[in-house]
Amino acid sequence: MNNMKTVIAPVNIAVIKYWGKRDEELILPLNDSVSATLATSVMCAKTSVFTGPQLTSDEIWLNGKKESFTNKRLVNCLEGIKAIAAKEKSVDEEFLKWKVHVCSVNNFPTAAGLASSAAGYACLVTALAKLYNVKSDVSCVARLGSGSACRSVYGGFVQWHAGTEPTGKDSIATQIAEASHWPEMRALILVVGDSAKKTSSTKGMKKTAETSELLKHRIEYCVPQRTTSIIQAIKEKNFPKFAEITMKDSNQFHAVCLDSYPPFVYMTEVSHKIVEVIHKYNEVCGEVKVAYTFDAGPNACLYLLEEEVPKIISLIKYVFPSSSPDNFVTGLNYEQHELSKDFLNKVGLEPESVDLLKYIIYTKVGEGPAEVTDGSHLLDQNGLPL
C-alpha cells in the first residue's frame, strides 16, 4: 500500500556522549558523539504511518495510548520530512497536503530509560521518509525529535557530527563501520531498579552548558581527541582501546553532571557497584575485556566481545542475585559458565542483596531501520489502530 508504511528502528548507546546543546530549537550539539546501534531483533521501536484524503487531523498513538500531536518535536519531524519531499518533488502536492496517522510501539519497557526516544523518532522519521518517497539523508530530521535519534538512522557504528552551521544542515549522522565489520561485538544492558525521578536530558544539558567549567574542557580538549581515537579503535577492532575510551567518556559525562550547579546525578549505588565489578574483572583478566557506559539514568550498558559473555553474565549473577533467576537474562542465547573458586577469590567480590538488578538484556550491534514488508501494520485501512 502506498499510503501506509511500517518500519522498525533500533536503539543506540553512545560511547562518546552527547551532552549540551549549542541551539535548543534545532537540537544542535556542542560536541560530536559516537554510538553503536543495537540489534532490532532484541530491542526495537515499530511505527506505522498512514495518509489519505479522508483524514481530518494528524493523530498519534504511542504504546497503545492516544497522545497529542501538538508536541513541537513531533510536528518538526513531520514538517521536516514533508519539506524534503516538497524539495525533491518525490510525491504529488496533493498527497503532501493529506493529514497523517501514526501508531508506534516499543518492544521493551519505555520507563526503563533505555533510549526509547532515539528508536522512536528514528522509526517515525524513517517511516515518513518511506511514505513520502524521500531519498536523501534523514538523520538531520530525526535529530529534531531527539538529538540521539539521528544516530539510530544508521546501523553499526555511527558518528553524529556536531557541525558548525547555524542552520544545522551539517549536524548529521554518518556510519563509521557496518555491524558486520566487528561481528563479535556484544552489549549487555543491566536494568537497575530505579524509582527516583531523574532530571530530563533537556533540563540536565541546559544546566550543564550554563554552569559547568569542566564541560568546556571536555568539549574543547577531551571529546575531539577521544572521537578520533575511538573511530580508529573501531576501524582497527582494537577492543581494549575502544573499551577504555568508552568508560572514560561515560565517567566524564557523569562528572559534568556533578560539576553543574546545582548538581544532579543519574548513577546510583548499584551503578557504582557495576563500575567496580567491571574494573575488578578487567584487572583479574590482566586486560580490558569489558566496558561500561551509563546514559541519563542508572542502567549500565556493557560492551564486550562474544567470548566474554558467559563469564561476565556468571559474575553479574553472582554479585547481583535474583529472586527469579530463570527470567534474569533476556535476548540472545549464551552458554552457561561456572566461575572457578580461584577466579572468584581473585575478583574478591561478595554477593549483594537480592534483586538490586532487575534483569539483563543480551544483545549485539545491528542494522539500521528497516521497512516491515510482511503486512503486520499497526494501523488498519482507515488509519485506525489495530
| Contact residues: ligand PMV, CB under 6 A | 14, 17-18, 33, 117, 146-148, 201, 295-296
Q: How many residues make up the chain in this entry?
A: 386
Nearest C-alpha neighbor of 19 from the set 160, 209, 300, 149: 209
List phi, psi (to 5°) of 49: -125, 145
Cβ count near 214 (within 10 Å) = 17
Q: Where would I find the beta strands (DSSP E) of 225-368?
A: 290-294, 300-305, 329-331, 357-364
| Min CB(78)–ligand PMV separation in Å | 18
| Min CB(205)–ligand PMV separation in Å | 7
Q: At what angle do helices 116-131 and 72-88 cross, to 10 degrees?
A: 30
Measured from the CB atom, is 21 or 82 closer to ligand PMV? 21
| Distance in angstroms (rounded) separating the CA atoms of residues 153 and 9 | 8
| Min CB(18)–ligand PMV separation in Å | 3
Helix (H) or strand (E) holding 240: helix 239-258
Measured from the CB atom, is 146 or 271 closer to ligand PMV? 146
| Min CB(198)–ligand PMV separation in Å | 11
| Min CB(195)–ligand PMV separation in Å | 20
- Residue 385 gets which letter from DSSP? B
CA distance between the termini of the chain: 16
| Distance in angstroms (rounded) separating the CA atoms of residues 12 and 28 | 18
Measured from the CB atom, is 73 or 272 closer to ligand PMV? 73
Measured from the CB atom, is 20 or 383 closer to ligand PMV? 20
| Min CB(267)–ligand PMV separation in Å | 12
Answer yes or no: are the C-beta atoms of 360 and 192 closer than 8 Å: no
Measured from the CB atom, is 18 or 157 closer to ligand PMV? 18
Q: Where would I find the beta strands (DSSP E) of 65-134?
A: 65-67, 100-106
Residues 6+ apart with CB under 8 A from 85: 91, 96, 132, 133, 134
Measured from the CB atom, is 35 or 48 closer to ligand PMV? 35
Strands 357-364 and 33-37 come out as unpaired
Measured from the CB atom, is 106 or 148 closer to ligand PMV? 148
| Min CB(84)–ligand PMV separation in Å | 21
Q: Establish how many alpha carbons lie within 13 A of residue 351's alpha carbon, considering only the half-sphere containing its beta carbon.
A: 9
| Min CB(342)–ligand PMV separation in Å | 38
Measured from the CB atom, is 130 or 143 closer to ligand PMV? 143
